[in-house]
């Protein structure tokens, strides 16, 4: 079992923690940045790994990268990534603000590889995350146990691992060969045998479901896909420039200061700016596909609206879905070979944070405006939560829009907190001056 001690321990190397890594590189003293470690469960950096479809585009401007809104002159900007890879002129010639999703993912990988002091340890799936306590029982740090047997301790913890996939209750416990969530689509569909006439059902009425409905027609040639949703039909995102100002970093202060009832109402009104919608190009593409299918006699594609899946049984040879029509109450059965879940993510805090809260004895999970978890005691340790504070910090919290500015807030808070802790208040040791090695 390998053991290592760091100052800042970050769980996950997705966009949130990569933006923080860049902020620490640029703002923190070298000894603090050099003693920061990101634990990433994947073998490499990949943004939206399960849905890196070759034609899919980001829905956010490239200027909302990991750093530009904080430091437009940074070497870690998306523009510099394009320049370093010889594609700046070609990207300009595209005349777009929204890069391909795979390009954003590659940019994140490039940033991770370009870090000078902060380190990323790959293949490090965290199986246990618990508080570390001193002789008096007070929390003085954190311990992360990984699947390969390593133990990493740190005084300051940042959790940026994302939310848990939402698998509706009727689909839980079914075989992995029958049900695929969008977070696993690319790998799982690539490994699936190709059988003509395979009956595929896609669940959901938003972007991920629509993308899988479109993509599976190429990925499983000859399949017959059916898209099932509870809503009245597919719709596009609300993209008004006026409502988009609620994704500005400056709106976080207003939202956090608002009455909780008002916050809930605002989030409900903004639902279609980020959820339950499609990009206009995808909406147009799908309707043309359906139109052509109908023109040719139909039978290849099906879209079922106002329909709920109320039961599923596995016969061994197939899945049989019980469908209930919301409009008429009529019930019918639909057999299929494969279900694709475009059902998004669970709204509650992810299991890793809930388990940590249990270990801390917290009755509820609360963060301050600075994203620090209220530990219920005065301590030299700190814990920050990224991307899971929509209820208190606004709808942009889980998105790319505020990464750069949020990372600065957390970095400066960390720098200030670390400066007051016993280890970093004194003159850095030789160990502190050297970057932490990759375990």
140-168 residue pLDDT tens: 999 999 999 999 999 999 999 889 999 99
Instruction: Report pLDDT for 438.
Output: 39
In the predicted model, what is the mean pLDDT of residues 300-310? 94
| This prediction's pTM | 0.92
The domain ranges of the chain are: 3-164+346-433, 169-237+277-341
CATH architecture of 169-237+277-341: 3-Layer(bba) Sandwich (3.50)
Work out the angle at residue 403's Cα, subtended by the Cα atoms of residues 183 and 87, and round it to the nearest 5 degrees: 80
Q: Do domains 3-164+346-433 and 169-237+277-341 have the same CATH topology?
A: yes
- Angstrom distance (rounded) from CA 222 to CA 200: 11
What residues contact residue 311 under an 8 Å CB cut-off, 6+ apart?
Answer: 170, 321, 322
3-class DSSP state of 45: coil
Is the pLDDT confidence value at 334 over 70? yes
Say if residue 403 is exposed, middle or buried (CB neighbours under 10 Å; 0-12, 13-18, 19+). buried
Compute the mean pLDDT over every residue in the chain, rounded to the nearest whole number.
Answer: 92
C-alpha closest to that of 9 among 124, 179, 90, 101: 124
At which residue do the structure tokens 């920061």 appear?
36
First to last CA, the chain: 11
Q: Who wins on pLDDT, 86 or 237? A: 86
182-231 residue pLDDT tens: 999 999 999 998 888 999 999 999 999 999 999 999 999 999 999 999 99
Is the pLDDT confidence value at 6 over 90? yes
Instruction: Report pLDDT for 423.
Output: 55
Least confident of 5-14, 99-108, 126-135, 238-247: 238-247
45-71 residue pLDDT tens: 999 999 999 999 998 999 999 999 999
Contact 49, 183 (CB under 8 A): yes
Contact 112, 13 (CB under 8 A): yes
Give the bridge partners for 130, in sequence order: 143
250-272 residue pLDDT tens: 999 999 999 999 999 999 888 88
388-433 residue pLDDT tens: 999 999 999 999 999 999 999 999 999 998 887 655 433 333 333 3
In the predicted model, what is the mean pLDDT of residues 309-327? 96
Is the pLDDT confidence value at 4 over 90? no
- Quote the tokens at residue 137: 């029982």
Instruction: Report pLDDT for 422.
Output: 57
Check: CATH 3.50.50.60 for 3-164+346-433? Answer: yes
In the predicted model, what is the mean pLDDT of residues 233-247? 88
Q: In what order do the strands lie in the sheet with 319-325?
A: 307-314, 319-325, 331-336
Is the pLDDT confidence value at 171 over 90? yes
Instruction: Report pLDDT for 274.
Output: 79
- Quote the tokens at residue 169: 């209750």
Say if residue 100 is exposed, middle or buried (CB neighbours under 10 Å; 0-12, 13-18, 19+). middle
Side-chain-facing half-sphere of 287: CA atoms under 13 Å: 11
Q: What percent of the chain has pLDDT over 90?
A: 82
Is the pLDDT confidence value at 359 over 50? yes
- Angstrom distance (rounded) from CA 143 to CA 348: 23
* φ, ψ (nearest 5 deg) of residue 421: -85, 155
What pLDDT band is residue 342 in, cutting at 50, 70 and 90?
very high
In the predicted model, what is the mean pLDDT of residues 79-107? 97
Say if residue 303 is exposed, middle or buried (CB neighbours under 10 Å; 0-12, 13-18, 19+). buried
């Amino acid at each position: 079992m390998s053991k290592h001690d760091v100052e800042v321990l970050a769980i996950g190397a997705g966009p949130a923690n990569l933006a923080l890594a860049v902020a620490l590189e640029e703002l923190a003293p070298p000894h603090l940045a050099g003693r920061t470690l990101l634990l990433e469960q994947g073998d490499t950096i990949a943004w939206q790994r399960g849905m890196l479809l070759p034609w899919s585009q980001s829905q956010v401007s490239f200027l909302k990268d990991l750093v530009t809104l904080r430091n437009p002159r940074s070497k870690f900007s998306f523009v510099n990534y394009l320049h370093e890879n010889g594609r700046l002129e070609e990207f300009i010639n595209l005349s777009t603000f929204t890069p391909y999703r795979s390009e954003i993912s590659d940019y994140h990988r490039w940033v991770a590889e370009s870090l000078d002091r902060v380190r990323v340890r790959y293949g490090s799936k965290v199986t246990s995350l618990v508080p570390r306590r001193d002789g008096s029982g007070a929390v003085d740090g954190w311990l992360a146990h990984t699947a390969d047997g390593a133990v990493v301790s740190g005084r300051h913890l940042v959790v940026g691992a994302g939310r848990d996939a939402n698998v509706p209750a009727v689909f839980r416990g079914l075989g992995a060969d029958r049900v695929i969530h969008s977070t696993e689509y690319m790998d799982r569909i690539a490994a699936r045998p190709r059988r003509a006439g395979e009956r595929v059902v896609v669940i959901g009425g938003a972007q991920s479901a629509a993308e899988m409905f479109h993509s599976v027609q190429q990925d499983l040639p000859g399949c017959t896909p059916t898209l099932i949703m509870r809503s009245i039909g597919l719709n596009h995102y609300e993209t008004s420039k006026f409502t988009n100002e609620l994704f500005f970093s400056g709106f976080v202060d207003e939202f956090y200061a608002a009455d909780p009832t008002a916050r809930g109402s605002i989030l409900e009104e903004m639902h279609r700016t980020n959820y339950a919608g499609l990009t206009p190009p995808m909406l147009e593409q799908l309707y043309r596909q359906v139109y052509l299918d109908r023109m040719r006699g139909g039978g290849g594609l099906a879209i079922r609206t106002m329909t709920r899946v109320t039961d599923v049984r596995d016969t061994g040879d197939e899945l049989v879905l019980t469908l209930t029509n919301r409009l008429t109450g009529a019930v019918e059965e639909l057999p299929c070979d494969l279900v694709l879940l475009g059902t998004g993510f669970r709204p509650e805090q992810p299991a890793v944070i809930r388990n940590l809260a249990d270990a801390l004895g917290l009755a509820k999970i609360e963060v301050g405006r600075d994203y620090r978890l209220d530990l219920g005691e005065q301590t030299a340790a700190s814990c920050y939560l990224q991307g899971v504070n929509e209820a208190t910090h606004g709808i942009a919290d889980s998105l790319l829009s505020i990464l750069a500015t949020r990372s600065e807030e957390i970095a400066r808070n960390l720098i200030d907190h670390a400066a007051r802790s016993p280890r970093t208040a004194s003159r850095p040791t030789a160990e502190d001056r050297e970057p932490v090695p990759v375990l």
